[in-house]
Amino acid sequence: MRNRRRRSRAVLAVVLAAVLGAAGCEAAGDKSPAPGGTKARTAPVWNRSPASIAAVGDSITRGFDACTVLSDCPEVSWATGTSAQLDSLAVQLLGRTGAAENSWNYAVTGARMSDLADQMTQAVTRAPELVTVMIGANDACRATAAAMTSVTRFREGFEEAMATLRAALPKTQVYVASVPNLKRLWSQGRTNPLGKQVWKLGICPSMLSDADALDLTATKRRDTVQQRVEDYNTVLEEVCAKDRRCRFDGGAVFDYDFTTEQLSHWDWFHPSKDGQQRLATIAYRTVTALNP
């Protein structure tokens, strides 16, 4: 009888150990042994090689004034361009043929943050693995500094756009570019007499009007616009940080020291083809980084 009790206890101990061991393996995730003695690994949250791309945003992503005056030129877009004149993000990730077949540009010249949700609605119909976002310059570039989009409305618009994406595509990745440094563009472009004449036609008047004015009023106006751009970038970073499949560029576009060579010689404000290439390089570095 005592022998039977010992055997029963031994069997129970073996069974209990097996159950606890199985539970431990399940909890360990990527530490559990896989067939063949290798360790199984959980797929990373961020895929550094997405197979399709959709772009949303404004005139910068449309390549406005990069090829001809007052015209979009999406073939040289930093995000989805397929022209041999530059290597866009899509070309670097998918190859030129892949970019032509599996990238789509839904950005609209003149768009503001309030338009982003509608663009995102179009983008989700393609079920892209990556969505690129560059928007905010037009929210700051208004007729006056007082007319700029408020930070609160800017945040609400971005949150709505992200919610639109997530409702349809919970696993699609998002790359968010910071808003460019408009004050730096002013300081670069104002050195060109032709550029200043073009600005008088109404390009970003909140920052660029009276380009040579350095009085207190003009300086305060530009500083107000600059602060709003910085606040927009804070919003982009904070909202993106709440989404585990979103990467903000860390302010790389804002920090980039654009020269006149990277500015369109049609308006001395939008990126030239050279400028578009710089944006593509920043995006590729962020998307393919091991860590955000």
* Tens-digit pLDDT profile for residues 111-137: 999 999 999 999 999 999 999 999 999
Helices (H) and strands (E) in the chain, counts: 12, 5
% the chain with pLDDT above 90? 79
Provide mean pLDDT across the span 162-185: 97
* Tens-digit pLDDT profile for residues 198-207: 999 899 999 9
Q: What pLDDT is attached to residue 31? A: 37
Q: What pLDDT is attached to residue 32? A: 36
Q: What pLDDT is attached to residue 9? A: 52
Q: What are phi and psi of 103, to 5 degrees?
A: -140, 145
Q: What pLDDT is attached to residue 194? A: 87
Q: Which two tokens stand for residue 279?
A: 């944006």
CB-based contact 108:71 (threshold 8 Å): no
Q: Which two tokens stand for residue 185?
A: 């563009």
Give yes or no for residue 92 having a pLDDT over 90. yes
**CATH fold of the domain at 53-288:** Rossmann fold (3.40.50)
The Cα–Cα gap between 168 and 46 comes to 18
Q: What pLDDT is attached to residue 192? A: 85
Q: Which residues contact 286 (CB under 8 A, 6 or more apart)?
A: 175, 247, 249, 250, 252, 292
Q: What pLDDT is attached to residue 42? A: 60
Q: What pLDDT is attached to residue 130? A: 98
Q: What pLDDT is attached to residue 41? A: 59
Give yes or no for residue 167 having a pLDDT over 90. yes
Provide mean pLDDT across the span 186-209: 91
Q: What pLDDT is attached to residue 185? A: 92
Provide mean pLDDT across the span 167-190: 96
Give yes or no for residue 196 having a pLDDT over 60. yes
Q: What pLDDT is attached to residue 191? A: 85
Q: What pLDDT is attached to residue 292? A: 74
The Cα–Cα gap between 207 and 200 comes to 11
Mean residue pLDDT of the chain comes to 89
Provide mean pLDDT across the span 95-105: 97
